[in-house]
């Protein structure tokens, strides 16, 4: 009968100790967290440069950029702009603000996880751009278009040429 309360108390104490160790990690291993963040940031910058080049190619080909890619690009820009060089100290230069360092370490660890997710998600872009709509298309396609019988044979020939897989150009 005494085993049940003892097991419950042991379980609670174990969880508290694990939580305390997890929280002290952000304070004690701050330098490693910053190094990990900087390494992942370099990977993200390289991937961002590749995606930016793909976007420019699609824009030069008059294609619209997919919204998913624009959203990814905005998130990546926010993470790339993160500055890890500034440190905050309290009254004396040799006394670092432990509360700030804990919060900053926790924040950078979360941002490192987000960078990994962004880099991983960029591998699954199905497409960067899609063909843009033709400008002023409404002036070329009229709802009052009349189909002439004399052009029916030409229309049928063009349609047959389009269906034929051997033709690569139709004039």
> pLDDT digit of tens for each residue in the chain (171 aa)?
668 888 888 888 888 888 888 888 888 888 899 999 999 999 999 999 998 988 888 877 777 778 888 898 999 999 999 888 776 655 555 556 778 888 889 999 999 999 999 999 888 877 777 776 655 555 455 666 666 777 778 878 887 887 777 776 766
Reduced to 3 states, what is the DSSP secondary structure of residue 63?
strand
Determine the Cα–Cα distance for residues 100 and 103; give it in Å rounded to an integer: 5
DSSP label at residue 131: E
Determine the Cα–Cα distance for residues 69 and 27; give it in Å rounded to an integer: 35
> Is-contact 96 87, C-beta < 8 A?
yes
> Is-contact 59 80, C-beta < 8 A?
no
pTM of the prediction? Answer: 0.63
Reduced to 3 states, what is the DSSP secondary structure of residue 135?
coil
Helix count and strand count (H, E) for the chain: 5, 2
Domain ranges of the chain: 26-131
């Amino acid at each position: 009968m005494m085993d049940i309360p003892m097991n419950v108390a042991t379980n609670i104490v174990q969880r508290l100790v694990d939580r305390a160790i997890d929280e002290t990690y952000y304070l004690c291993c701050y330098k490693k967290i910053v190094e990990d963040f900087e390494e992942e940031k370099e990977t993200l910058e390289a991937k961002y440069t590749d995606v930016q080049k793909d976007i420019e190619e699609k824009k030069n080909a008059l294609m619209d950029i997919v919204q998913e890619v624009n959203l990814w690009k905005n998130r990546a820009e926010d993470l790339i702009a993160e500055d890890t060089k500034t440190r905050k100290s309290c009254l004396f230069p040799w006394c670092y603000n432990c509360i700030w360092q804990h919060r900053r370490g926790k924040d950078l660890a979360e941002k490192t996880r987000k960078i990994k997710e962004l880099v991983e998600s960029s591998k699954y872009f199905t497409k960067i751009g899609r063909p843009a709509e033709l400008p002023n298309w409404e002036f070329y396609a009229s709802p009052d278009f009349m189909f002439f019988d004399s052009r029916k044979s030409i229309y049928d020939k063009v349609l047959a040429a389009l269906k034929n897989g051997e033709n690569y150009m139709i004039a």
